[in-house]
Structure 1
Amino acid sequence: MQVIDFIVNQILREPSIFMGIIVLLGMLFLRKEPKDILASTLKTIVGVRLVQVAADLLINSSKPIMDMLVLRFGLQGRVADPWTGVAEGLERMADTSLVGKIGLIMVMAWLLHLLFSRFTRFKVVYLTGHIMFSDTVLVTFFIYAVTGWTDWRALALPVFLLAFYWWFWPSLMRKPLKALVGEDNLTLGHDMVFFGWLAFWIAKWTGDTRHDTEELEFPGWLSIMRDTVVSYSLIMATLYTLIGILSGPEVGAMFSGDKNYIIFSFIQGINTAAGITLLMFGVRMFLDELLPAFEGFAKVVVPGAVPAVDVPAFWAYAPQAALLGLISTLFGMLTGVMLQILLGMSYITIPGVIPLFSGGCTLGALASRYGGVRGTVIATYILGIIQVFGSIWLAEVVGFEIAGGGHMDYCTYWPALLTVIKAFTGMVN
């Protein structure tokens, strides 16, 4: 168990080391020169670390702005953030033996997904280590919450469900993603692989591919918006400054310290744009090393497989679509929250920063190749509304008291599946 604990907590939960090991093995299998192996491994680790630093910057710059809004308007509800769910799930399972078996469940599920890939025609290797960990905690808690099991069934069912989820849905995403990536050498490894299919279809039904998001023409001086650094800076700085003004000096001062609350809000918007810029750079760095090295890894472990990787890897393929998706998802979330208030729901969804960026940017980029500008906007707007209501759905199914869903599959796929499992086990018991 100590070996498994070390693998889970010191390797798989540290994405830079995990990805570095995959590239190292791939380069060794390709029989590359030692200096090339060392260079690729280090570039991969540094690239992934840049992505992690950028993600921390996004969270740290966005969270106080969201907290200002919640405090100013007295919102009460479930936080649509998967990591909040991880913390609550671990706390709720603290008195059971399941907490000590999280590492075992995760390793067994990952190995089983490799077997599925090795011996079927669906070939992927799931490489998003931190998502694997959060998935393992959450799905283990979900099964415990809806069945009450703590015996071998509480281990076997999460292992199977996770292995299937990490293998089947990313495999199905390979073909539609080719329209975005241009090659069949990459697929999505995140908690929106199921809803990604719905986003494709919504964009296809509602959109028009003749109006490409990346060829979107801006009038006059707005043509500078084609520069992603400028566009993210203008939009996020304006949005966060507006939130600061709405929050007012009294609430704003609680977060801004010795800075003027409006200046503080503006800088947080600029920090968000800086985080996105750094994130894009880090993604390009590690993908340049991962994709060629993975051929060597796949040749030995799972012939014909492609890597399933984290969401930022796809934003650079359609940066304007990612931006449109982010904005449209935000408006969808706000619409959903307003509807919850108007409907008099006892709890509302408090939108999370990570699902906003991960879902909006990613599904915006994916939808763009199937629906153009209109399809991207409509699909991600609907996404925002579904995130809000789906988060409450999951909270009700599993009994979350603080957390909700967040990422799209936690608002659609998992609550639907858990509702079936809950009903079935209820009849059996």
Structure 2
Amino acid sequence: MDFLMDILNWFSQNILQKPAFFVGLLVLIGYALLKKPWYDVFAGFVKATVGYMILDVAAGGLVSTFRPILTALNYKFNIGAAVIDPYFGLTAANEKIAEEFPKFVGVATSALLVGFFVNILLVALRKITKVRTLFITGHIMVQQAATITVMVLLIKPFQVNELVATLAVGLVCGLYWAVSSNMTVEPTQRLTGGGGFAIGHQQQFAIWFVDKVAPKLGKKEENLDNLKLPTFLNIFHDTVVASATLMLVFFGAILFVLGPDIMSNAEVITSGTLYNPEKQAFFMYVLQTAFTFSVYLFILMQGVRMFVGELTNAFQGISNKLLPGSFPAVDVAAAFGFGSPSAVLFGFATGLIGQLITIVLLIVFKNPVLIITGFVPVFFDNAAIAVYADKRGGWKAALTLSFISGVIQVAFGAIAVSLLGLVGGYHGNIDLDIPWVPFAYLFKYLGVIGYVLVCLFLLIIPQLQFAKAKDKEAYYRGEAQGE
């Protein structure tokens, strides 16, 4: 038994929690099942793994560019608040567990494995469960498992021992990963023109909602690509120019408010690029920071193109041989390359405005919990929402829905911090606000009954999706219907 656990722990730490190698392994297995020559199998493994590593580098660079500015804002204005960001949320959740539930410190890691196997089981029994997607974004699973552990431990009967808590957390995580990613199959197939993948990140419920609501808010013909701009503004149809300019305005305004003294203070700026007044003018530092954002965004797109193509082709082997009819659920950034290049920046900007307005309202009404914007939700959530909304309802839908998302992120983030008793941060992503904050209330006030209701709710969703599908075989193929 110990030998088996050692193998599972090794797999969890070295493969499942390292999405680049997990994706590479899936490509290797998929191509092998397709009986590709060994050199094609090896080449596919390398391209998929390196492509995902490029995406990771870019995503990390985007975060590291923005996070020092948040730190500096907190220092200058002495804001004692919670940051809505999955990395801050992960730290806050782990500290909460360590302080109040010390014997459950290892639950999240073990539950991650349980949840992954629950997901596999649901796909294997797809004729009964109607689930078609395998969630393979390991680092996201780590983040969510920690936050969800805090929520599940609100239920006192699950505090009996570590095994009970692990099974409870693993089951509800596995259901969420499988069911929520399954909800994104048709929207993503529509967006990508049959790309063969789904989304396994932190916005799956939101993507499903956007796909349904966006056509009612605007016309898809009036999308951002077709938006008529004055001649001199046509340069903003170029992603590099648009991102660099927007970030120059955004970062420029904030950095000049902060000033060179703070940005050169090594005690404040402990990560990211520290301003050195002896070697660089402050304006050039601002310019460099803004353009660095554009660089990482461009790199992210390149990484997406590399690994998505390999994974989509290779997963046919897994889908045909091991898990028939299944789709890989991957990082939401994979969808960015299939929408309007302007939608990513449009969603970021309008979502940020929604967040900032809501933060001001929290201050005005003296809310006991103040929220600080985190980069991951404001960028990745709202960019994804704008990409899907623009595809289905044009720029008006993208504007409306990404703005609403920004409001929800802050408002529900404040509620979650208070409800869960977290210090310093909360996950912040839109799905961890809705549906997970309402789920947490059910856990806290209905206990085991609330937990059962949440599990039943998740299990019913794919059944309703299947029942609504006019062509049942097309449902298993992931084909969008009724369009």
Aligned residue in 1 for 2:276: 258
Aligned residue in 1 for 2:144: 135
Aligned residue in 2 for 1:9: 13
- Cα distance change on mapping 1:78 and 1:25 into 2, 3 Å: same
Q: Pick one of 182, 188, 195 that aligns with 2:193.
A: 182
Q: Pick one of 141, 149, 154 that aligns with 2:159.
A: 149
1:103 aligns with 2:134: no
Of the structure 1 ranges 48-57 and 193-202, higher mean CA displacement relative to structure 2 is found in 193-202
Q: Deviations over 1:103-145 (max 9, x none)?
A: 3211121111111112122211111111111122221222124
Q: Aligned runs of 1:117-266 on 2, under 5 Å?
A: 117-120=123-126, 121-147=130-156, 149-151=159-161, 152-183=163-194, 185-254=196-265, 255=269, 256-259=274-277, 260-266=281-287
Percentage of pairs with the same residue: 25
Of the structure 1 ranges 51-60 and 208-217, higher mean CA displacement relative to structure 2 is found in 208-217
Aligned residue in 2 for 1:29: 33
SS at match of 1:214: coil
Q: Pick one of 112, 115, 122 that aligns with 1:116.
A: 122
Q: Is the 8 A contact 1:175 1:184 kept in 2?
A: no
Q: Is the 8 A contact 2:239 2:342 kept in 1?
A: yes
Q: Pick one of 307, 311, 333 that aligns with 1:290.
A: 311
SS at match of 1:307: strand
SS at match of 1:215: coil
Alignment size in residue pairs = 428
Paired AA for residue 20 in structure 1: G
SS at match of 1:210: helix
Q: Aligned runs of 1:297-316 on 2, under 5 Å?
A: 297-316=318-337
Aligned residue in 1 for 2:460: none
Separation (CA, whole Å) in 2 of partners of 1:113 and 1:126: 7
CA-atom RMSD in angstroms:
1.9
Report the TM-score, using the length of structure 2 for normalisation: 0.85
Separation (CA, whole Å) in 2 of partners of 1:327 and 1:275: 17
Of the structure 1 ranges 374-383 and 137-146, higher mean CA displacement relative to structure 2 is found in 137-146
Aligned residue in 2 for 1:386: 408
Of the structure 1 ranges 51-60 and 29-38, higher mean CA displacement relative to structure 2 is found in 51-60
Separation (CA, whole Å) in 1 of partners of 2:263 and 2:73: 9
- Cα distance change on mapping 1:27 and 1:258 into 2, 3 Å: same
1:401 aligns with 2:419: no
Of the structure 1 ranges 220-229 and 169-178, higher mean CA displacement relative to structure 2 is found in 169-178
Aligned residue in 2 for 1:88: 92
Of the structure 1 ranges 150-159 and 357-366, higher mean CA displacement relative to structure 2 is found in 150-159
> Structure 1 segments of 4 or more deviating over 3 A?
145-148, 259-262
- Cα distance change on mapping 1:154 and 1:335 into 2, 3 Å: same
Aligned residue in 1 for 2:295: 274
Separation (CA, whole Å) in 2 of partners of 1:74 and 1:269: 25
| Structure 2 unpaired stretches of 5+ | 451-483
SS at match of 1:416: helix
**C-alpha displacement of 1:146:** 5.0
SS at match of 1:191: coil
Separation (CA, whole Å) in 2 of partners of 1:427 and 1:302: 33
- Cα distance change on mapping 1:207 and 1:67 into 2, 3 Å: farther
**C-alpha displacement of 1:427:** 8.9
Separation (CA, whole Å) in 2 of partners of 1:139 and 1:406: 13
Q: Is the 8 A contact 2:83 2:371 kept in 1?
A: yes
**C-alpha displacement of 1:65:** 2.0
**C-alpha displacement of 1:383:** 0.5
